[in-house]
């Protein structure tokens, strides 16, 4: 059975009791009372699992964490205020001044800014490399890179990594391997492919409704033997490895969440849990629709980019390694900024917004929005041209989507 088929509607209902309230319970309290001084001590020592202060987690978020860990086959998860919160939490928990982080492939603008502008302020050096440049990857790993970060599908360049191959290299060279799986929940399962941590912006398709900003880091269990986190380069983390299988959760919480406070709020976690109920159905629909829309537009001569199309550089990889699709994105090359604007403004169906993975179909001109402050060289690396429009296919009829986009394209091309 397909992974998403198995989980259909099961996701939230497989955690907790079926008795009592059917919808997830929202517990908005910031603080939690303790039964006694002894209990307070035990909770703070991690010997009793009860909420103690919402910056370190609340019961609604704890349910979401359990559901996401089940979905991913992980040992646990930590939910955060946003996807950027999850990425910042992971990188700041594991890295310290003098470390290097290798970013492989295409990156969402926020992630690119985090590793290229913000982390260097704290002494963490970024290295960039193409998804297929294994020589560069290997060299960087041999030189002691601490963490490797990859998006399961490049946003917006739609390049596809070979996650298993990169995981093997990371394991061989004892580097932490983090996969941002925001666009491909259920269809890509990075922990099963050898990743250590899977990051989500749950704001996207995990929720689907654009009503809740959120993020999560889902992590593998720490092994008793042959554990790469016991390597010398992770020595600052070694005391926390005593926490056993769930030690990565302790690392994330004690080295980042506690001090930076990128914590999820209960209402946001509640809304995310509502989205998860229908995630398997939406994932299937969107991944089928995006291929149909790409094909219909391509056949009409629209300059559309998607790995399901033969001309895409990762078409064969898509067929071999992404049998259930690679998420809701496709992109159009309109040639110029003016034509891209004319296209977006002519569409009656698109919602123009910076989000992706929504139930509605979304569109955005990349160079004038998310990437507006980026240097030309950085835009070139990330595949952002003046005419690039990113589209995120929603749940509408794929034929209706394609008809609208084609009409808008024709209007834009006539406008010159
Ligand atoms: N990762 C990817 C792939 C994204 O597309 C985004 C947002 O667009 C993020 C991370 C950041 O997520 P958030 O906006 O929830 O902070």
Residue of 52 and 249 predicted with greater confidence: 249
CA of 380 to the centre of ligand 1 (A): 20
Residue 86 has pLDDT above 90, yes or no: yes
Q: Say what the pLDDT of residue 379 is.
A: 84
Q: Rounded to the nearest whole angstrom, what is the distance from the C-alpha of residue 112 to the centroid of ligand 1? A: 11
* Phi, psi of 208, rounded to the nearest 5 degrees: 85, -15
Q: How far apart are CA 268 and CA 283, in angstroms?
A: 21
Q: Is the dihedral of CA 391, 393, 397, 399 positive or negative?
A: positive
- pLDDT of 65 above 70: yes
Beta carbon of 201 within 6 Å of any ligand 1 atom:
yes
Is the minimum distance from the CB of 108 to ligand 1 under 6 angstroms?
yes
Q: Give the alpha-carbon dihedral of 256, 260, 266, 269, to 10 degrees.
A: -60
Q: Is residue 30 exposed (0-12), middle (13-18) or buried (19+ Cβ within 10 Å)? A: exposed
**Omega of the bond leading into 156 within 30 degrees of 0 (cis):** yes
CB of 93 closer than 6 A to ligand 1? no
Q: What is the pLDDT of residues 199-222, one digit of tens each?
A: 999 999 999 999 999 999 999 999
Q: How far is CA 123 from the centre of its chain?
A: 25
Q: 77: which strand partners? A: 218
- Any ligand 1 atom below 6 A from CB of 75: no
- Give the separation between CA 112 and CA 114, rounded to whole angstroms: 5
Measure the CA–CA gap between 218 and 66, rounded to whole angstroms: 10
- Measured at the CA of 279, the angle between CA 49 and CA 249, to 5 degrees, comes to 25
Q: Does an H or E element contain 11, and which?
A: helix 10-13
pLDDT value at residue 19: 87
Is the shortest distance between the CB of 83 and ligand 1 below 6 Å? yes
H helical segments located in 114-194: 119-121, 134-142, 163-172
Question: What is the pLDDT of the chain when averaged over all its residues?
Answer: 94
- pLDDT confidence tier of residue 107, bands split at 50, 70 and 90: confident
| pLDDT confidence of residue 255 | 97
Q: What average pLDDT does range 218-236 have in this prediction? A: 95
The pLDDT tens digits for 319-343 are: 999 999 999 999 999 999 999 999 9
Of the candidates 53, 411, 393, 336, the one whose C-alpha atom is nearest the C-alpha of residue 204 is 393
For the beta carbon of residue 407, count every other beta carbon within 10 angstroms. 14
Domains of the chain: 2-275 (3.40.640.10), 279-414 (3.90.1150.10)
Nearby residues of 202 by Cβ (< 8 Å), 6 or more positions away: 79, 83, 212, 214, 215, 216, 272, 275
Residue nearest to atom 14 of ligand 1 (CA): 83
> Residue 10 pLDDT > 80, yes or no?
no
Q: How confident is the model at residue 1 (pLDDT cuts 50, 70, 90)?
A: low
Average pLDDT over residues 82-101: 98
């Amino acid at each position: 059975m397909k992974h998403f088929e198995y989980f259909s509607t099961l996701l939230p209902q497989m955690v907790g009791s079926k008795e009592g309230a059917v919808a997830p319970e929202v517990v908005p309290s910031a603080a939690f009372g303790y039964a006694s001084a002894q209990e307070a001590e035990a909770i703070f020592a991690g010997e009793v699992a009860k909420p103690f202060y919402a910056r370190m987690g609340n019961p609604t978020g704890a349910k979401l964490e359990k559901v996401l860990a089940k979905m991913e086959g992980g040992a646990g998860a930590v939910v955060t205020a946003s996807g950027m919160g999850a990425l910042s939490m992971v990188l700041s928990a594991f890295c310290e001044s003098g470390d290097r982080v290798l970013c492989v492939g295409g990156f969402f603008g926020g992630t690119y800014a985090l590793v290229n502008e913000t982390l260097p302020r704290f002494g963490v050096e970024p290295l960039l490399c193409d998804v297929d440049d294994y020589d560069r990857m290997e060299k960087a790993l041999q030189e002691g890179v601490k963490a490797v970060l990859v998006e399961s599908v490049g946003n917006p360049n739609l390049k596809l990594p070979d996650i298993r191959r990169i995981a093997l290299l990371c394991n061989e060279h004892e580097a932490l391997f983090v996969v941002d799986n925001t666009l491909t929940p259920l269809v890509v399962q990075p922990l099963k492919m050898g990743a250590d941590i899977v990051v989500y912006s749950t704001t996207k398709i995990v929720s689907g409704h654009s009503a809740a900003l959120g993020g999560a880091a889902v992590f593998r269990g720490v092994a008793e033997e042959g554990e790469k986190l016991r390597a010398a380069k992770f020595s600052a983390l070694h005391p926390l490895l005593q926490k056993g299988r769930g030690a990565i959760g302790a690392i994330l919480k004690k080295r980042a969440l506690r001090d930076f406070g990128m914590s999820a709020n209960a209402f946001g976690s509640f809304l995310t849990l509502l989205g998860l109920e229908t995630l398997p159905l939406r994932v299937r629909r969107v991944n089928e629709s995006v291929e149909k829309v790409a094909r219909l537009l391509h056949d009409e001569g629209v300059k559309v980019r998607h790995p399901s199309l033969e001309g895409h550089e990762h078409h064969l990889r898509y067929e071999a390694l992404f049998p259930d699709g690679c998420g809701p994105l496709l992109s159009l090359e309109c040639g110029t900024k003016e034509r891209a604007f004319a296209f977006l403004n002519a569409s009656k169906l698109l919602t123009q917004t910076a989000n992706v993975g929504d139930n509605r179909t979304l569109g955005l001109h990349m160079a004038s929005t998310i990437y507006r402050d980026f240097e030309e060289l950085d835009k070139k690396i990330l595949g952002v041209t003046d005419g690039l429009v990113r589209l995120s296919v929603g749940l509408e009829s794929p034929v209706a989507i394609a008809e609208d986009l084609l009409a808008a394209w024709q209007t834009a091309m006539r406008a010159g």
